[in-house]
Structure 1
């Protein structure tokens, strides 16, 4: 059953303060946040609906919060990001970041929640974050299927002259929907920025019969060089065993594998480019 939400002013037209407290004590009503009540314990979506009830008309989810709803939430989302029209008052609420824009926008509804449209969301987010995080956003937006490259280019053109749009225009041609995680996109960007040939994402390696056997994060097929991000999942004993079998097969087939971690990505990207430059000869 859908959760029913009320603002305090709506409830007080039907209840006295004493009756409201009684219903809260009996758990017939639940306080979701200041000024908003529900008829049952709320899930995450209902908590967002309650927040939107507290905000002025025209409020919608934006940036990381909208990206998650659209299916390309690859960046951390500790706060709720909200878009408001420029002419309305800007509230201050804990855990909420309010954004305004000079560009008009109409919301789309995803799961019943108003959101900034997908292309607008991807471009605004890629404008606002550092370059190393912007490409993962664009990659994930393409992978999600909710936007096309042409739609991203058109949206970027609408942002002409705004802060960060040059970065977005540079990165859209590099975006690739085959990328499967943020770190993979970041690895690829580090190599491209290091003046190395763009590696192929999610490269399938075939056996002698031409059957796809192993898929690499990144690679150069003609040179038989594979590139992989080593995350926490590789520390699992069962996964480690499968990885060793995979590595041995690839080595026997003439593939030279190179592995990188968070330390390489965020502390010594020069090591990544030097390693692959050497491997390419």
Structure 2
């Protein structure tokens, strides 16, 4: 005896329209209102978990909610494009071409023009492309927070594999767009080789305080072992390496691997400087002073 396949409902069961799931017989109204699912937007539900839904889940739900009327954009688009760079607890973001979509708690609605080549399909919803997302975030962030604007541009350029100055082409496409004058300065500071948002912040601590620009993701060749060791930041002419130590560096296997890595680099004549989120967030001037002394420049 064969059983018929379940009807297909976009996003089910992670982020979906309630009426579609009910019509398909996947859930009843009573179950939908119960503890198993959480309503984020009108007729838009997600599976309830032990923790509140993260930005990725909320962004997919927003995409379902505005389907046919708008697209996921801003930090939400960056999250779905695997270019996570948003501060904690940001609202989901969508862009609509007109005033047809009303705002909703937890949903930030932008009204702007989008060309067809500035939208793509990602994780089941329409999102702005990586270049368009970077263009939008830099225009919005740079006037008040240049660092976070560059963080977003670096992350999206790395994931989207485009040179940061590509956002200037969009500035030419929309010559009267608000915030476009902030783009050149952000592009000048950007580096698509940056490995993470915290590496970008660490680099900008140095550059914005007048130190020479370090090279990002610099390879040091280990000829004996026939491999390359990649440094987050480096001043090769001074043989100075700078590393951001994130949470993944605290895993036992990573600690052991890092120990041998740093021993080899020091033996090869490199001076290594390692910083964590505590120094990057709380002691940026001390970081710059430390590297300034290491470089021996004023």
Q: TM-score, normalised by structure 1?
A: 0.79
Q: SS at 1:219's partner residue?
A: strand
Q: Is the 8 A contact 1:70 1:146 kept in 2?
A: no
Q: Which one of the candidate residues 231, 253, 263 is aligned to 2:246? A: 231
1:41-96 per-residue CA deviation (whole Å, 9 max, x = no partner) reads 699889766645544853110101111223322224642111122x3245232221
Does 2:130 match 1:115? no
Any residues of structure 2 matched to 1:113-152 within 5 Å, and which? 113-129=125-141, 130-152=145-167
Structure 1 partner of 2:28: 23
Q: SS at 2:155's partner residue?
A: helix
Any residues of structure 2 matched to 1:184-263 within 5 Å, and which? 184-209=199-224, 211-263=226-278
Does 2:286 match 1:271? yes
Q: Is the 8 A contact 1:31 1:37 kept in 2?
A: no
Q: TM-score, normalised by structure 2?
A: 0.75
C-alpha distance in structure 2 between counterparts of 1:202 and 1:99, whole Å: 35
Indicate the structure (1 or 2) with the bigger Cα radius of gyration. 1
Q: How many residues align?
A: 270
User: Structure 2: 5+ residue runs without aligned partners?
Assistant: 1-5, 11-15
Cα-Cα RMSD:
3.6
Any residues of structure 2 matched to 1:169-180 within 5 Å, and which? 169-180=184-195
C-alpha distance in structure 1 between counterparts of 2:129 and 2:152, whole Å: 14
Q: SS at 1:254's partner residue?
A: coil
Quote how far apart the aligned CAs of 1:162 are. 4.6
Q: SS at 1:222's partner residue?
A: helix
Of the structure 1 ranges 205-214 and 138-147, higher mean CA displacement relative to structure 2 is found in 205-214
Q: SS at 2:28's partner residue?
A: helix
C-alpha distance in structure 2 between counterparts of 1:88 and 1:74, whole Å: 28
Q: SS at 2:272's partner residue?
A: strand
Quote how far apart the aligned CAs of 1:217 are. 0.8
Structure 2 partner of 1:17: none
Q: Is the 8 A contact 1:74 1:137 kept in 2?
A: yes
User: Structure 1: 5+ residue runs without aligned partners?
Assistant: 15-19
Structure 1 partner of 2:170: 155
C-alpha distance in structure 2 between counterparts of 1:119 and 1:172, whole Å: 12
Q: Is the 8 A contact 1:66 1:115 kept in 2?
A: yes
